[in-house]
Structure 1
Amino acid sequence: MRRCLALLVLMFSLPLHAAQLNLELGDGTHRWDSAELLSHPQARNLDIAQDVAYKRAMHYRAVPLAVLLEGIQPADHLQAVALDGFAAEMPAAPLLQQGPARAWLAIEDPTQPWPALTPGKPSAGPFYLVWTDPQASGIRPEQWPFQIAMIRKLESVEQRFPALLPDAKLPSSDPARQGFALFQQNCLACHRLNGAGDAQFGPDLNLPHNPTEYFQPEFLRQYIRDPQSLRHWPQAKMPGFAQSVLSEQELDALLAYLRHMAKRKP
């Protein structure tokens, strides 16, 4: 019994392994481990007043993300892939800018782990994209991906997944076109549509059925705003989209895109 206890004490006293971040930026794979990033010359201590993942003020050791994106141009398109399959599509331009909003890669110190996101769940580490002054550039919650394992350069969503595109005959002013842009920003990180997308987190939103086909309109709006108010279970992961994140006009456009795509199944 004493030997078992001694073994457990030894196991829990050993330092945790450094995590690894893979960067695939078009010229091969670059790997950084958390120890290297924590000691990076441009790493600094950062206070985030309104953290999206933790919903409170947080303190991090972080590196400006732009310094890790060597060779990336503002017109490029990036994707952050999380450990759980969340895949955030990210235009490069906001990630490269020096301000007013600025992107930072927060690094979890294995010797001082961050708190769990919720009881019994892991933390937001090992790597988390956070922003200073996010309101200044209209940064949305989906642009704060956490538990990042890889950042890679890809072609745009339109080029990679033509099955997501609305009908080319739609006029440029059609709400479904704005809805497609909002779908990329708010939904594609977790969901596929017509089998298209990289996320492995949530269900396909058109196959076999589109939510506009089986939700009454008022309940679908309620579900998007506050999923737990309609279907409550402890393991639910879908966040609600408040009006500060998705205005009523934007929600109308997103629903217009979903209704349109219900008629464009493969």
Structure 2
Amino acid sequence: MKTQLICLTLGVVLGSCGGSEKQASHSTVADTTVVKVVKDSLSVYLPDVKASLPEAQTVEVKDDPVFFKAKSYKAIPLQTVLDQFLPAYKKLDLSQTQIVFECEDGYNPSMSLAKILSKKAYLAVSDTDAPAGEDWINPKKGNHEMKIAPFYVVYTDVPAKDVTYKWPYNLVKISLSAASKELAVLFPKEDDTQVKGFELFKVNCLTCHSLNKVGGKMGPELNYPKSITEYWQVEHIKQFVKAPSSYRNDCKMPAVTHLSDRELDEIVRYLQYMAKHKV
């Protein structure tokens, strides 16, 4: 009953990135913010409210997984941002609520709201190392320049190697969604042997790839209309995940080196299961 109530209350689903919403001009920021809070109190389009954000403080990140070194940023505690723009979260069951980050480039990571609020998470608004007159430095991955602006979620107490925490940059929108609503079409209801693969896919793949049109848009959809397991050999799927650049030139996908062969097998078996459960 509680889960159903949360689903009805939230009314927020994973959607498209900032391209589907127009950024208000500076002169209309205040009016736009009021309309958004009244219309949808559980999502906020960050560029619209930039002028209304609390004053940022300098925070030190010991091990930044995007820059691969220690960094410092001007940033605002994420909880402070939620308190100001999404205060309705306080009435929800945090353990049953997902916080969804939507980025311009299609990266749509999500995680438990309770989990992220248990750490020192910040919304970074600028890089203290940026040249005068600029807010950000854009690192390069091969020949590809990574756009960090307009916002970046960082932590001062989470190690870079902990992949269960997401560090979304190029961030434009934050939404709250019922965990059950987001993942209902992906959970293997008919075969509990696939739950391990589902959990691994959710943490490691869903942020960039969609499945049955749920998830990130940075990488290709993996199940609809055709499952990747229907046109790629299993061994090639696993090898591609381990070393994408050995298959595609200037590939944006990073090499996934923290998953064992057994865990990759679990994910592939889950994808094979989902090939028979398309939506």
TM-score when scaled to structure 2?
0.71
Q: Which amino acid aligns with 1:232?
A: R
Within a 5 Å distance, the mapping from 1:167-182 to structure 2 comes to: 168-171=189-192, 174=193, 176-182=194-200
Worse-matched range after superposition: 215-224 or 28-37: 28-37
Contact residue 102 and residue 171 of structure 2 kept, 8 A: yes
Gaps of 5+ in 2: 1-24
Contact residue 89 and residue 184 of structure 1 kept, 8 A: no
Within a 5 Å distance, the mapping from 1:184-223 to structure 2 comes to: 184-194=202-212, 196-223=213-240
* Residues paired across the two proteins, number: 231
Task: Please give the secondary structure, in 1, of the residue aligned with 2:159.
Answer: helix
Measured in 1, the distance between the counterparts of 2:244 and 2:177 equals: 31
Contact residue 78 and residue 89 of structure 1 kept, 8 A: yes
Within a 5 Å distance, the mapping from 1:88-237 to structure 2 comes to: 88-97=109-118, 99=119, 102-108=120-126, 111-118=133-140, 121-135=145-159, 139-140=162-163, 143-156=166-179, 158-160=180-182, 162-166=184-188, 168-171=189-192, 174=193, 176-194=194-212, 196-229=213-246, 231-234=247-250, 236-237=251-252
Deviations 1:141-167 (A, max 9, x none): 7611111101011222x424543232x
Gaps of 5+ in 1: 1-16
Offset of residue 190 of structure 1: 1.8
Q: 1:141 to 1:58 in 2, by over 3 A?
A: farther
Offset of residue 24 of structure 1: 6.7
Contact residue 151 and residue 169 of structure 2 kept, 8 A: yes
Q: Which amino acid aligns with 1:84?
A: D
Q: Which amino acid aligns with 1:63?
A: I
Task: Please give the secondary structure, in 1, of the residue aligned with 2:238.
Answer: helix
Worse-matched range after superposition: 87-96 or 247-256: 247-256
Measured in 2, the distance between the counterparts of 1:220 and 1:198 equals: 19
Measured in 2, the distance between the counterparts of 1:85 and 1:252 equals: 26
Greater relative contact order (CA < 8 Å, ≥ 6 in sequence)? 2
Q: 1:193 to 1:214 in 2, by over 3 A?
A: same
Offset of residue 226 of structure 1: 1.7
- From the CA coordinates, give the structure whose radius of gyration is larger: 1
Measured in 1, the distance between the counterparts of 2:191 and 2:215 equals: 26
Determine which of 225, 247, 254 is the counterpart of 2:267. Answer: 254
Q: 1:24 to 1:215 in 2, by over 3 A?
A: farther
Counterpart residue number, 1:242 = 257
Offset of residue 44 of structure 1: 2.3
Calculate percent identity across the aligned residue pairs: 30
Measured in 2, the distance between the counterparts of 1:259 and 1:151 equals: 32
Counterpart residue number, 2:73 = 60
Deviations 1:57-85 (A, max 9, x none): 22211111112112325222111101122
Measured in 2, the distance between the counterparts of 1:214 and 1:257 equals: 16
Measured in 2, the distance between the counterparts of 1:28 and 1:206 equals: 29
Offset of residue 247 of structure 1: 3.8
Measured in 1, the distance between the counterparts of 2:260 and 2:115 equals: 21
RMSD (Å) for aligned C-alpha atoms: 3.1
Measured in 1, the distance between the counterparts of 2:229 and 2:159 equals: 31
Measured in 2, the distance between the counterparts of 1:141 and 1:107 equals: 23
